[in-house]
Amino acid sequence: MIRCIAIDDEPLALGLIREYMSRFDDVTLLHCFDDGILALGFLEREEVDLVIVDINMPDINGLQLAERLPDPKPQIVFTTAYRDYAVEGFMLDAADYILKPVTFERLGTAIQKVRQRMPDRDPDEAGFLMVHSEYKLIRIPFREIEYIESLSDYVKIYLEGTLHPVLSLNSLKTLESTLPESRFSRIHRSFIVNHAHIHSIRGKKVIMKSGPELPVSQSYNHFLLKWRGER
């Protein structure tokens, strides 16, 4: 999954990029900024693979921002209404340089270039979930998630080595679409489990390494068959 932010002081341009990015299955748009300084602060705190940034902005322009990116430096795609900056953009090792107005097809070409430049990751280390909890946006690495339980309009995210789950206003269906199928499975209308934290299967129950026994409903019987190697 390519973790991305977009920076542009034009609301319409940001809205267009937000809409386009939602069409890519392997791209997560973490945040949109209309201020380059705020974006740099976010980049200091969070892991980001790709920055899509407009060159012509007040306070700090896209070229200046690219020079100040923290290590490890994310890929960068510049957008601008002017051709004059193309050479400077590529001198900063930009993955691509898009002239406005940005089209979905042109952005798709840029994303493909970014994919080709992305380093291979250890699948056990890569990936995380972003959720709101207690008025904060928090980042939870996939590897730390043991299982997730639905609780009315909320979910409880149980983490390895912690006593209290993370409570978030969210739905299990939404999280299921975000989590990689190779690592997580829905086993019940109320539960999603992380394969790496399963100790064993007994009957129609999943025994987690930390102790909880979670039911597998009839609708998710295919999980038991897959786990036993029967399909």
Query: Domains in the chain, start-ordered, CATH in brackets?
Result: 2-117 (3.40.50.2300), 128-227 (2.40.50.1020)
The pTM assigned to this predicted structure is 0.53
Structure tokens at 159: 């983490």
Task: Give the model's pLDDT for residue 130.
Answer: 82
Taking only the tens place, the pLDDT of each residue in 163-212 is 899 999 999 998 998 888 888 999 999 999 999 999 999 999 999 999 99
The three-class DSSP label of residue 5 is strand
- Which band of pLDDT confidence, cut at 50, 70 and 90, is reported for residue 126? low
Q: Tokens in use for 28?
A: 């997560």
Q: How confident is the model at residue 231 (pLDDT cuts 50, 70, 90)?
A: very low
Which has more pLDDT, 125 or 81?
Answer: 81
pLDDT for 24 equals 86
Strand bridging mode 213-215 / 2-7: unpaired
Task: Spell out the residues 6+ positions from residue 132 whose beta carbon is closer than 8 angstroms to its own.
Answer: 138, 168, 169, 170
Report the 10 Å Cβ neighbour count for 73: 13
Using alpha carbons, select from 154, 153, 156, 118 the residue that is nearest to residue 140: 156
